[in-house]
Amino acid sequence: MKKKLAIAGTAALMLAAGTPLVSAHAATYGTPTISLSAAYLSGAVGAVGDPTVDVTVAQSGGDVSALTVSASASTKTSVAGTGDVTVTGAGAVRQLAVTARGRGYTNLTVKVTGLGGKTATKTLYYAASPAVQNPAEARYFTGASDSSAAVDVGGGYTVVADDENNVLRLYDRSRSAAPVKTWDFSAQLGVTKEVDIEGGTLIGNTIYWTGSLGNNKDGIYKAPRNTVFTTTLSGSGASTQLAYGRSYKQLRDDLVAWDTANGDCYGFAAGTADGQAPKQIDGFNVEGLEFAPGSTSTAYLGFRAPLAPAVMGGKALIVPVTNFDKVLSSGAKATFGSGIELDLGGLAIRDIRKNAADQYLILAGSWAADDNSDPYALYQWDGVAGHAPVKRADLPTTDPGGWEAIVAVPDLSVAGARVQLVTDSGSADLYGDGIAAKDLTHPEWKKARAAWFTLN
């Protein structure tokens, strides 16, 4: 009893002296940990639903819900400051979003504060591209910037091809985000360089893809570009799967031989000659692929170059491949129908796509431009040779990137029909540092813009 009283007396004296009592069983907390799902993040000024990163936190000896996450510093607040960082969630994984103030780069310090006042930090390297017209209608597909063809696979998802590599990427059409899945068929195609994929279309469960078939930008023949191939589609939406099918690597040769046998009408031999750049008015460059009305065998090849005739104001050219299914399924030599020449106001074909009702949209652009320096327009067509296309919309050309792909064609007879297009932003200076997007070091900073347009 005397011992207990002595202890109580000592405690009273300590409290009176202002000395805190420490329990022999007081909790001890380790230094918290923090990790980011990606160290690099891209956004856009005025964007809706920019990509986010996951922040995973933990602390030994502490309840994870008691940890707080915030941005504690920014190296360039004119791009994004600490107050422009939003963190949501309360568990071990939080979601971090950034609202861009201006174009450029900043390094954001992301801090977790744990129990006992202990902290840890990570750096998020952030890049913001400029505002665009109608930002609410824009989404950004990150991971690559040179988008060149898109095929809708249902469930709100699209597979997007790239003309700088042979990777096919699956994106949620409604979100700004990295690809959900990727496939690289280089090994199956037997190539180590890019096929320069420029067009794709879906028939049944087979997606047909075509390379540009032209020389490279320096006028040098590169065999991988003379490739068409198929992938087999299974599933849809986020569950989409692609499997390699077959390829054919002589379509360019077949086209040149056909044109030569028919009086060299379109100058294909000259357009494919050594030293001939593909993006010339008299060059040779395929960018569109779609099947003829009601057909699963005849495919339309839409040419970016040449124009027909190859003069300013010339018509856009389509060459029907009448046995395209057999070309891919059995390696049959390609056969062709008569060329189809369309008046697109002096523009060429950058993509062509139809819907189940055989209503076609043609994305028309310059044979020369890799960006938005020349006009772009959308034309409606019925797919019948001799029938004139009708312009449905002029496209904006003040924002980074050139219009390159049609994701899917809506019912064009419905007022207010909306179509989603994707840009090739590879040549664009997205962040104001003079670096083309295709040359950026980090794939998270590379991106193509998908935008919705209402047709007139």
State the CATH number of the domain containing residue 148.
2.115.10
Residue 330 domain-assigned (yes or no)? yes
289 shares its domain with 389: yes
375 shares its domain with 439: yes
Q: What is the pLDDT of residue 374?
A: 87
101 shares its domain with 224: no
What is the CATH classification number for the domain harbouring 64?
2.60.40.1080
How is the beta sheet containing 447-454 ordered, strand by strand? 138-142, 447-454, 418-424, 402-406
352 shares its domain with 427: yes
Q: Which domain holds residue 141?
A: 135-454
> Over 80: is that where the pLDDT of 322 sits?
yes
Residue 23 domain-assigned (yes or no)? no
233 shares its domain with 317: yes
Q: What is the pLDDT of residue 6?
A: 42
> Over 60: is that where the pLDDT of 25 sits?
no
> Domain boundary at 111, 129, 147, which?
129
83 shares its domain with 220: no
Contact at 8 Å (CB) between 208 and 328? yes
156 shares its domain with 51: no
> Over 80: is that where the pLDDT of 29 sits?
yes
167 shares its domain with 121: no
Residue 21 domain-assigned (yes or no)? no
116 shares its domain with 172: no
Percent of the chain with pLDDT over 90: 92
Residue 11 domain-assigned (yes or no)? no
pLDDT digits (tens, 9 = 90+) for 277-321: 999 999 999 999 999 999 999 999 999 999 999 999 999 999 999
Number of domains in the chain: 2
41 shares its domain with 145: no
* Residue for token pair 């570009």: 225
Q: Read off the pLDDT of each residue in 347-365 and give the average, rounded to a whole number.
A: 98
Q: What is the pLDDT of residue 371?
A: 66
> Over 80: is that where the pLDDT of 2 sits?
no
Average per-residue pLDDT for the chain: 94
241 pLDDT band, cuts 50/70/90, is: very high
106 forms beta bridges with: 126
- The beta-strand segments (E) located in 59-137 are 68-74, 85-88, 93-98, 104-113, 119-129
pLDDT digits (tens, 9 = 90+) for 416-449: 999 999 999 999 999 999 999 999 999 999 999 9
- pTM comes to 0.92
Residue 22 domain-assigned (yes or no)? no
